[in-house]
Each structure stands twice: as structure tokens, then as C-alpha cells.
Amino acid sequence: MNAASPALDSQLSAPRSPVIAIDGPSASGKGTVAERVARVLGFHFLDSGALYRLTALAAMKSGVALDDEAGVARLAAALPAGFHDGAIWLANEDVTDAIRAEAVGAGASKVAALPAVRAALLDRQHAYRQAPGLVADGRDMGTVVFPDAQVKVFLTASAEARAERRYKQLIEKGNSASLPDLVADMQARDARDTTRAVAPLKPAPDALLLDTTRMDVESAVQAVLAHFRSRS
Ligand code: DC
């Protein structure tokens, strides 16, 4: 995320900056695609999932129960999140790796289902919309957070393909992993994200559907860029 501090954002200039909203399920590759598209265009980048992960980590560290909606929302509203120096920070602690732990991902999925937590993170996400533009990656970028985004993409892949990608990442990092467990895990997380009452994962009606099951990252990046250029 290379946006300037949300505190510096001018609400007046916000509506003029274009937004490319990229939503989709876990491990669909949307984070990688979104970051590369942002780099090519020189746009800011918002990894909204990281905000939910940071909120879950902050709750875990401070002993706030993940189902204590008011308590977690208070933490989310005052989250000392930082995205700089190539790292992700919680106050002055580098938590780039810590927020990727499975336990934190599961916690993020729980706190993301709480309406007060989503509301507490909304202004912070809007604040990343700054010139020359923003690529925002998440689950509800095109439906809730930036419904007026110029370009919306729903990037997906089969649960099997996504589990296989996650499996390769884990093995490359020297972790052990079971492919059938990962497929089951992916399906459970999809079910939770798509059936929750608030901001469920679903394509915006005007989103470009991009199934990357048989597509590499570069082809997906080019498809998003072509769509953006056709709309500019
Ligand atoms: O993309 P990710 O795996 O880092 O997201 C972590 C969790 O946060 C995931 O369970 C879905 C949730 N999330 C969300 O509800 N809304 C977003 N805009 C981004 C993530």
C-alpha cells in the first residue's frame, strides 16, 4: 500500500480520482494482480484485507474477544496501521509476516463479519482514494466501499486452483501443507465470506468477471489494464 497517510487526504479531491476495484475470494491472486496494475499505472494501492487482518491481530494482542463487536470496532477505529518501507506496521511493530498467519486470517474472517467493524474501517478506506488514482483490492470494493469505481473486476479461480496456488506458496516457504485440507479450508472460507449478512462477497452487477483458473498473473494484469483503458 503506497497511499499517503489517510489523515492527509482531502475529501474535496477524492471524487475526482479514478478507482479500479478488484474483488474476489481468498487466494484468487487478486492481491498480486492489483498491486501490479497499481504499479504500471502509478496508482495508490489499498489492500483492504490487510486492514481486517491488522484489526484481528490488534484484538488478539490486546485480549479483546473476536466476537466483542463494540470492543473490536473501537480498536478498528483507532487502528495504528502503517504501510511504508515495504512493510506493514501495527504502531511501530513490523507485522508483515504476522498478519499472514493462518490464525490471523481466520480471525480476520470473523471480525470482518461484524457490521460495526466494517463501518469503523470505511472512512479509512475512502481516504486512500487520492490522485492520480487507486487500485483497491478486497471483497466489497466495487459493491460497498467504492460503488462509483470506474472499473470493477471480480477475479476468481476454482477452489482447487486457488488451493494449489496456496499449497505451492506454503511449500516454497518450507511449511508442510495438505492439498485436500487446503481445498476444504478454501471452500469453508468462501462459504463464510459469501453468506455473511453484511457486505457478502459477490460480484458487482457491473464488474468484469475474470476467471484466472487457466490464466497466469501477467495475462490477468493485461486483462485488467485493457479493461481500464477501454473505460478511460
Ligand atoms: O484478502 P485477505 O485474505 O487478506 O482478507 C482477510 C479477511 O478479511 C477475509 O476473511 C475476508 C475479509 N475481507 C473482507 O471482509 N472485506 C474486504 N474488503 C477484505 C477482506
Residue 5 has a pLDDT of 46
Round to whole Å and give the CA distance between 50 and 124: 12
Residue 61 scores a pLDDT above 60? yes
Q: Which of 102-106, 131-135, 162-166 has the highest mean pLDDT?
A: 131-135
Domain 19-212: CATH superfamily is P-loop containing nucleotide triphosphate hydrolases (3.40.50.300)
Is 109's C-beta closer than 6 angstroms to any atom of ligand 1? yes
- Residue nearest to ligand 1 atom 10, measured at CA: 109
Is 143's C-beta closer than 6 angstroms to any atom of ligand 1? no
Instruction: Tell me the DSSP string of 190-216.
Output: HHHHHH-SSS-S---TTPEEEE-TT--
Range of lowest pLDDT (43-47, 133-137, 189-193):
189-193
Residue 11 scores a pLDDT above 80? no
Fill in the DSSP letter of residue 86: T
pLDDT, average across residues 136-148: 96
Is 55's C-beta closer than 6 angstroms to any atom of ligand 1? no
pTM of the model: 0.88
Query: In 3-state terms, what secondary structure has residue 90?
Result: strand
Residue 15 scores a pLDDT above 70? no
Residue 13 has a pLDDT of 45
